[in-house]
Amino acid sequence: MMPLYPLYINGRFIETSERQNVLNPSTGKVIAQACLAKDSDVDLAIASAREAFDKGSWPKLPLDERKKFIFKIAQGILNKAGDLAKLETENAGKPIKETTFMDVPSAAKAFEYVANNFESYLVSENLNISEEAKAKLSREPMGVVVLIIPWNYPLLIASWKLASALAAGNTVVLKPSSLTSLTAFELGKIIHQAGLPAGVVNIVNASGTKIGEKLCSDKRVDMVSFTGSNEVGKHILEYSSKNVKKLIMELGGKSASLIFSDVDIDMVVNSSLCSIFLNQGQMCTAMSRIFVQDSLYNKFVANFVEKAQRIKLGVASNHETQMGPLITDSQRKKVIVYLEKAKAEGAKILCGGKIPQAPELKNGYFFEPTVITGVNPHMHIFKEEVFGPVAIVGKFSSAEEAVELANDSDFALASCIWSRDLSLAEGLAKRINAGTIWINTYGMFYNRAPYGGFKQSGFGKELGKEGFLEYTRLKNVVLDQSPDAKPLVNYWYGF
């Protein structure tokens, strides 16, 4: 029997008449059905979250009690780790190695980290403003928070956002991507089993075009935290402006990796392969622009292309698979269009650029790891996010030129610097316009370190103390202790 995933609203699992087939990108086959929310379901979810915040126990719960619930969610993820990894692989096309060793344990650790630290983040601060006055700064939950999750890291990014939002005392309406909703619904089951009060977490599923405006424009919603494309992000900004609210926007990227000639060639090639072909290149932090110092360029390109051609494509559930399918056929077509445009503009494809012909891959949305050169800053593929397994490799002569190439982008999410000269690397990091700079590594996300970009990559942070505090509001209470309880304003008009 085909698995059916209901909505989760106000502590109840709700089946709807309208449903969606959920596909496995490796095979193109239907693996489940997910219920789709109508406007009335979205309204109920928002109303339930509002009621739970305004009149429920969750925001008022003692912090040590709230902490226990967050730990229960973390443990619930670990208890179902194998099943969650398998489901994420089947639904999102992520190789089982990635979901098993990265996504699922990292999701649990996100909850664990917040549970262990959020009480210290919420400690009030007392300020002695003057001899007469003092102030108390305190953190409060924002209220009702809408969390909108992308399809490339469904469970992990949902966990990043949920852990902070819940620990801060907010109530939540979670909207996963309709392409990859299954692990979000499983997370809903874990939350339900953890015993959180009804209405604290609500999960609705539908296309963003159908319910996005209703979620983001509703005045009962205090905050929207979104991770996804710039195109959708601009719509969310428009919707949210109808009733002003706080936003976190983690949008796209066109990240640059700068490789200097003093590095170990094998290490930097292997690391660079991971930086663009992990998750099939479907990462906002993908190092899709790789710039190599000219004295190392030819050797790097030869090694990089040779190893890119050896990456094993396969069905994502196979433990030997190193790169799985793209999320949909339409996403694959988008990649092909970018490559055709790049060739027409003068770029050269050194490897890949095609749909693999292996019989076992014919029904999935696979695409070969692709390396292109001869790209200049005026080309579309240099400027725009492809979101696929396509690496641009260029060269630079000086550190100054490297910085110019890295910063020649509307995006500013992340960057890599590879050099044994740490003084050089740290100096360049100050000059590169990006929210996260990795030196001699890639993709290391730590729960205690904030993450987020600048420019067209959005605003706001996830993770760390800074990311947690995004889900709070700061209140200032001023107490005047003037003699005889008569502050200066008492005398202003001379009465």
The token pair that represents 187 in the structure block: 């997370």
161 and 280 co-located in one domain = no
Higher pLDDT, 277 or 492: 277
DSSP secondary structure, 440-456, as one string: S------TTS-B--EET
The pLDDT value recorded for residue 489 is 87
Report yes or no: 245 and 221 within 8 Å, Cβ to Cβ: yes
- Under 8 Å CB-to-CB from 278, ≥6 apart: which residues? 98, 286, 443
- Residue 61 belongs to a domain: yes
Phi, psi of 284 (to 5 degrees): -65, -25
pLDDT at position 264: 98
Domain membership of residue 160 (yes or no) is yes
The whole-chain average pLDDT of the chain stands at 97
d(CA 244, CA 255): 31
The catalytic residue among 88, 90, 112, 250 is 250
Residues 192 and 230 in one domain: yes
Rg (CA), the chain: 24
CATH number of the domain to which 211 belongs: 3.40.605.10
Q: Judge whether residue 164 has pLDDT over 90.
A: yes
Whether residue 489 is contained in a domain is answered as no
Which residue, 213, 217, 207, is CA-closest to 244? 217
Count CB atoms within 10 A of the CB of residue 47.
17
Rounded Cα–Cα distance for residues 428 and 441 (Å): 15
The number of distinct structural domains making up the chain is: 2
Strands 125-128 and 30-35: what pairing? unpaired
Residues 199 and 315 in one domain: no
Give CA–CA dist 225/459, Å, rounded.
10
- Answer yes or no: is 223 within a domain: yes
Are the beta carbons of 246 and 141 closer than 8 angstroms? no
Examine the domain organization and report whether 125 and 231 are in the same domain: yes
Residue 466 falls in the annotated catalytic set = no
- Cα angle 339, 345, 349 (rounded to 5 degrees) comes to 45
pLDDT digit string, tens, across residues 327-357:
999 999 999 999 999 999 999 999 999 999 9
**In a shared domain, residues 234 and 289:** no
pLDDT of residue 394 exceeding 80, the answer is yes
Compute the average pLDDT of residues 14-39. Answer: 97
Whether the model pTM is above 0.95: yes
Distance of alpha carbon 451 from alpha carbon 468, whole angstroms:
11
Domain annotation covers residue 493:
no
The per-residue pLDDT for range 352-362, each reduced to its tens digit, is: 999 999 999 99
pLDDT confidence band for 208 (50 / 70 / 90): confident
**Residues 206 and 178 sit within 8 Å (Cβ to Cβ):** yes
- Name the token pair of 473: 């509001």
| Cα gap 400→407, rounded to integer Å | 11
pLDDT in tens, 292-311: 999 999 999 999 999 999 99
Indicate if the pLDDT at residue 381 is higher than 80. Answer: yes
Q: Which domain holds residue 338?
A: 256-439
> Are residues 270 and 238 part of one domain?
no
| Residue 333 sits in the same domain as residue 386 | yes
Q: What is the DSSP string of 185-246?
A: HHHHHHHHHHTPPTTSEEE--S-HHHHHHHHHH-TT--EEEEES-HHHHHHHHHHHTTS--E
Q: Which of 124, 127, 160 is nearest to 145 (CA)?
A: 160
Confidence of residue 88 (pLDDT cuts 50, 70, 90): very high
* Within-domain flag for 448: no
Share of the chain above pLDDT 90, in %: 95
What pLDDT does 159 receive?
Answer: 98
Cα torsion 5, 9, 13, 14 to 10°: value is -80
pLDDT of 482 over the 80 cut:
yes
One domain for residues 247 and 264: no
pLDDT of residue 209: 86
